[in-house]
Amino acid sequence: MDRVLIEGLAVETVIGVYAWERSIRQRLVLDLELATDIRPAAADDDLAHTLDYAAISARIGDFATHSRFELVETFAERLAALLREEFAIAWLRLTVRKPGAVAEAHAVGVRIERGEIT
């Protein structure tokens, strides 16, 4: 199975467990691998036959704008479920990083895989 990549996608959202975090928007950085067969799109040079990374990126931005979670884990799980449902993605790997959350680290975060590659 082929993979469509979206790397380093920055979004702003309300995320965090501390009271001060609940009143500000913070930056998350996402990397995605989305399983699909790109051969039909390549054969016809037709975007309609593949995953539209611009549309997916826009949907992620909209999701982040309207989300208010305490945990990065919750953000990742809900986003993965939404993307799989709305874009018929059989398998994905999603990494969500929260830069600056720990002063001694460049970023902290989670990486999840959901679905099956057929």
Residues classed as catalytic: 98
- Strands 26-36 and 2-15 turn out to be antiparallel
CB 34 within 8 A of CB 45: no
117 SS3 class = coil
Per-position DSSP letters for 34-97, written without gaps between them: EEE--HHHHHHT-GGGS--HHHHHHHHHHHHHH-EES-HHHHHHHHHHHHHHHHT-SEEEEEEE
Q: How far, in Å, CA of 102 to CA of 32, rounded? A: 23
